Amino acid sequence: MRLPISEFVTPAEAFTPTDQVSKVIGFLRSSRLYEAFIEEGGRTAMISIRDLLGTTNIATTKISTLMYYIPRLHPNSSVSNAATLMHDYRIKSLPVYREKKLAGQITSASIIARLLDTDIGLKASSIMTPNPIRVYASDNVSKAGGIMIRRKIDQLPVMIDDRLDGIVSSDQIVFNLMSWVDRNVKGDWREGRFDTPLAMFATKNVLTNSVSDTLRSIFANMSNSATNYSLIMNLDEVHGIITYRDYMKILAHRIAEDIPIYMVGLPEDPFEAETAKSKFLAAVRLLRTGFPEITEARAIIKMGKTEAPRKRYQVRIFIMSPYRHYSYRVFSYELADAFDYVNGWVKGIISSYKPKSKRTTEIPEFPP
């Protein structure tokens, strides 16, 4: 968890926002990668195979219409930090920058391989996602793709009644049903046939493991089969699924994880959301050093028109304990600044706390 990611960096390349989606699909197919990076000014964006499922015209669609921004890592960032970001944002890689220049990438596969150099003694049941969403052989490809987009997943077991018949994945749909990049290469009969029944489209050769198999043996099977999943079976029934994201659970760090912490209204921008999340969790951890009895913390974020003029965000904080409830409200144009104010508010509580009989303390807005 503490290792610097510099030990895991592999080469990477980046596209521009004006590149066409067809170019990305060609790159992902040939490189056997799941995501591609896009550089725009001082920020880095990403587009994944799953993001491409909703594209109807890859010949004219530009990357800028689908990409989303992600955090950049430094070579000294920890493996735990990288694993946490990959797990939370359901991605398999992150860009690594040295002095504002793309130095490479870190992938979940490289982290897992290092983690399992020695057997850590965990079984499939310890990290698997139980009862995965299923589709049926009579369903069509379009339905499977829609589920993947809505639920942010990339593999769906295909069933006939209660029996496993195959599996369908996001890369299978993108690479087999969307137009080929090379116009001189003729696609197969399935190209563009999103109404094709899954019975005719799904892969019959499904990678499976038992609930009692070790994580090391499961990852070895995934690597040898060049897949990023394994269905976990109990006798002949689908019991769960393990993907790279499930392995990231082992290394992902959690702050103040023994109490419920809720954040509502986080922005869609992954970088902005992660910054707000890390700042709020740090504030809660700081507050707990003086008030270990805290039982719950909430942050509610509202964006758009606020009560304060020329302010884009309103953030309300609620901290609960058996003895006292705290609430705080702040307006700010930048979300990161709002949570900096939250941190200052927390420091003020710790430095000025005196026992009071009043159960709810309303702190004036900051800054005044």
- Model confidence pLDDT, tens digit, residues 144-163: 999 999 888 999 999 999 89
- At 324, the amino acid letter reads R
pLDDT at 296: 79
* Share of residues in the chain with pLDDT > 90 (%): 49
More confident residue, 178 or 64: 64
What's the pLDDT score for residue 305? 62
Band (98; pLDDT cuts 50, 70, 90): very high
Alpha-carbon distance of 260 to 256, in angstroms, equals: 8
Per-residue H/E/C for the chain: CCCEHHHCCECCCEECCCCEHHHHHHHHHHHCCCEEEEEECCEEEEEECHHHHHCCCCCCCEHHHCCEEECCECCCCEHHHHHHHHHHHCCCEEEEEECCEEEEEEEHHHHHHHHCCCCCCCEHHHCCEECCCCEECCCEHHHHHHHHHHHCCCEEEEEECCEEEEEEEHHHHHHHHCCCCCCCCCCCCCCCCCCCEHHHHCECCCCEEECCCEHHHHHHHHHHHCCCEEEEEECCEEEEEEEHHHHHHHHCCCCCCCCCEEEECCCCCHHHHHHHHHHHHHHHHHHHHHCCCCCEEEEEEEECCCCCCCCCEEEEEEEECCCCEEEEEEEECCHHHHHHHHHHHHHHHHHHCCCCCCCEEECCCCCC
Mean pLDDT of the chain: 84
pLDDT at 20: 92
pLDDT of residue 188: 45
The residue type at 361? T
Highest mean pLDDT among 28-42, 112-126, 297-311: 28-42
CB 233 within 8 A of CB 247: no
Task: Return the bridge partners of 168, or none.
Answer: 156
357 pLDDT tier (thresholds 50, 70, 90): very low
Question: What confidence tens digit (pLDDT) does each residue in 72-86 have?
Answer: 999 998 898 898 888
Question: What is the per-residue pLDDT for 198?
Answer: 94
Give CATH superfamily name and number for 5-113. Answer: CBS-domain (3.10.580.10)
Give the total residue count for the chain: 368
Report the pLDDT value the prediction gives residue 288, as an integer from 0 to 100: 82
210 Cβ contact list (under 8 Å, min separation 6)? 124, 232, 233, 234
User: What CATH number should be reported for the domain whose range is 261-362?
Assistant: 3.30.160.100
Residue 183 has pLDDT above 50, yes or no: no
Taking only the tens place, the pLDDT of each residue in 11-54 is 999 999 999 999 999 999 999 999 999 999 889 999 999 999 98
For β-strands 296-303 and 163-169, DSSP reports them as: unpaired
* Residue 71 amino acid letter: P
- Residue 227: its pLDDT value, please? 93
| pLDDT for the residue numbered 361 | 38
Query: 10 Å Cβ neighbour count for 57?
Result: 11
**pTM of the predicted model over 0.85:** no
Would you kindly state where each structural domain of the chain is located, as residue ranges? 5-113, 124-250, 261-362
Query: What pLDDT, on the 0 to 100 scale, is given for residue 307?
Result: 61
What pLDDT does residue 36 have? 97
pLDDT at residue 354, rounded to an integer: 54
Indicate whether 360 pLDDT > 50: no
Q: Given CA atoms 204, 175, 230, 118 in this order, what sign does their dihedral have?
A: positive
Q: What is the pLDDT of residues 323-345, one digit of tens each?
A: 677 889 999 988 999 999 999 99
Q: Residue 362 — very low, low, confident or very high, per pLDDT cuts 50/70/90?
A: very low
pLDDT confidence band for 199 (50 / 70 / 90): very high
Domain 124-250 has CATH 3.10.580.10: yes
Closest CA to 327 of 352, 359, 351: 359
CB 264, CB 299: distance < 8 Å: yes
Domains 5-113 and 124-250 share a fold: yes
> Does 366 score more than 70 pLDDT?
no
Which among 272, 245, 236 has a CA at the least distance from the CA of 129?
Answer: 245
Q: Write out pLDDT tens, residues 246-289.
A: 998 888 755 445 677 878 888 877 788 888 988 998 898 888 87
